[in-house]
């Protein structure tokens, strides 16, 4: 059994009389310790898929198993436990707590995970060692994004789900962040899944999942992914 098993998943959203089928019969599997990319146009269902993998919302039908746990049939309290223990999430809109400084925002997750990394070290590695005491209102979009990535990595989760993690970053900082995420898979055997619009990031991935109108368009496995230093974006 693979680390991530997605089988025939369907997700419908209902508003009034209107039903939107955001995910339509998607199936794939991913191995532990791999670096994976989800590509697709705006509105194709990428964020919805990431939310389902993270146990943030429930499916209409189908099953998702992660590390042999069938998260799609978990009760609410089991899902809370799954998210708390196993998942690191980098959201598109950062979700940083405004009343805590950069260090405190990352330090928060130390209590959630028994083997979390040192928040100071992680903040330094995302290039924010000089901004530890800055509050979110005084940080740029790119810096907030890095706080959010530092928080997700610091938790040392089994699976790291990232929605456009380099969207607000210049290419140099973006490359550094991608390297950190890739190291999580290479050095620590964490499974990393990144949603992006940026097709060049796909070249460094072990697998590339393409989503179109809620369908799985293709999944490609890369035997020899490129190094981050080899791509241009
Ligand atoms: N909570 C919701 N209620 C109703 N419809 C939703 C909801 N969330 C997403 N959708 C719809 O589901 C479809 C897929 O949305 P999703 O956000 O997953 O796409 P995406 O590929 O991540 O887009 P983007 O790249 O623009 O972030 C879209 O048609 C969207 O409007």
**CATH label of the domain that carries residue 197:** 3.40.50.300
Structure tokens belonging to residue 226: 């490129």
Cβ–Cβ < 8 Å for 64, 72 = yes
Q: CA-CA distance, 202 to 200, in Å (whole number)?
A: 5
Whether the CB of 42 sits within 6 Å of ligand 1: yes
Residue nearest to atom 28 of ligand 1 (CA): 43
Instruction: Specify the ligand 1 atom closest to the Cα of 48.
Output: 18
Instruction: Specify the ligand 1 atom closest to the Cα of 50.
Output: 18
Whether the CB of 151 sits within 6 Å of ligand 1: no
Q: Note whether residue 144 is domain-resident.
A: yes
Whether the CB of 148 sits within 6 Å of ligand 1: no
Q: CA-CA distance, 136 to 207, in Å (whole number)?
A: 34
Residue stretches of the chain with pLDDT short of 70:
233
Structure tokens belonging to residue 207: 């697998």
Whether the CA torsion 111, 114, 120, 125 is positive or negative: it is: negative
Ligand 1 centre distance from Cα of residue 26 (Å): 16
Element (H, E) at 22: strand 18-30
Q: Note whether residue 51 is domain-resident.
A: yes
Q: Note whether residue 63 is domain-resident.
A: no
Q: Note whether residue 233 is domain-resident.
A: no
Q: What is the pLDDT of residue 112?
A: 80
Q: What is the pLDDT of residue 86?
A: 92
Q: Note whether residue 143 is domain-resident.
A: yes
Q: CA-CA distance, 73 to 127, in Å (whole number)?
A: 40
* Cα 91-1-218 angle, rounded to 5 deg: 55
Ligand 1 centre distance from Cα of residue 43 (Å): 5
Q: Note whether residue 69 is domain-resident.
A: no
Q: What is the pLDDT of residue 11?
A: 98
Whether the CA torsion 177, 181, 182, 184 is positive or negative: it is: positive
Whether the CB of 51 sits within 6 Å of ligand 1: no
Ligand 1 centre distance from Cα of residue 63 (Å): 20
Residue nearest to atom 14 of ligand 1 (CA): 45
Which domain does 104 fall in, by range? 31-58+86-228
Sequence-separated (6 or more) residues with CB below 8 Å from residue 81: none
Would you mind telling me the total number of residues written for the chain in this entry? 233
Ligand 1 centre distance from Cα of residue 90 (Å): 17
Q: Note whether residue 5 is domain-resident.
A: no
Share of the chain above pLDDT 90, in %: 75
Instruction: Specify the ligand 1 atom closest to the Cα of 15.
Output: 4
Q: What is the pLDDT of residue 166?
A: 85
Cβ–Cβ < 8 Å for 180, 125 = yes
Number of domains in the chain: 1
Q: What b/e string do you get for 20-51 counting C-beta neighbours within 10 Å, with b at 16 or more?
A: eebbbebebebeebbbbbbbbeeebbbbbbbb
Ligand 1 centre distance from Cα of residue 48 (Å): 6
Q: What is the pLDDT of residue 230?
A: 86
Which of 12, 17, 20 gets mutated to test ligand 1 (max ligand atoms within 8 A of its CB)? 20
Neighbouring-strand partners of residue 13:
20
Q: What is the pLDDT of residue 177?
A: 87
Q: Note whether residue 14 is domain-resident.
A: no
pTM (predicted TM-score) = 0.93
Q: What is the pLDDT of residue 12?
A: 97
Whether the CB of 22 sits within 6 Å of ligand 1: yes
ipTM metric: 0.97
**Local structure of 8: helix, strand or coil:** strand
Whether the CB of 45 sits within 6 Å of ligand 1: yes
Q: What is the pLDDT of residue 168?
A: 78
- In the block, tokens 């191995």 appear at 31
């Amino acid at each position: 059994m693979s680390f991530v098993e997605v089988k025939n998943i369907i997700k419908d959203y209902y508003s009034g009389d209107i039903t939107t089928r955001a995910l339509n019969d998607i199936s794939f599997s991913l191995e532990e310790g791999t670096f994976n990319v989800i590509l697709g146009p705006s509105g194709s269902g990428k964020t919805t898929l990431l939310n389902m993998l993270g146990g943030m919302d429930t499916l209409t039908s189908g099953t998702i198993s992660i590390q042999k746990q069938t998260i799609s049939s978990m009760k609410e309290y089991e899902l809370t436990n799954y998210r708390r223990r196993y998942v690191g999430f980098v959201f598109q809109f950062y979700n940083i707590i405004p009343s805590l400084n950069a260090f405190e925002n990352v330090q928060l997750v130390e209590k959630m995970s028994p083997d979390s990394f040192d928040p100071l070290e992680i903040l330094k590695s995302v290039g924010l060692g000089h901004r530890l005491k800055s509050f979110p209102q005084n940080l740029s979009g790119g810096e907030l994004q890095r706080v959010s990535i530092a928080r997700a990595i610091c938790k040392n989760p089994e699976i790291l789900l990232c929605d456009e993690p380099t969207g607000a970053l210049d290419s140099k900082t973006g490359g550094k962040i991608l390297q950190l995420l890739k190291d999580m898979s290479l050095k620590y055997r964490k499974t990393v899944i990144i949603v992006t619009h940026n097709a060049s990031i796909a070249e460094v991935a072990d697998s590339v999942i393409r989503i179109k109108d809620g369908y799985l368009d293709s999944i490609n496995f890369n035997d020899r992914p490129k190094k981050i230093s080899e791509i241009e974006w």
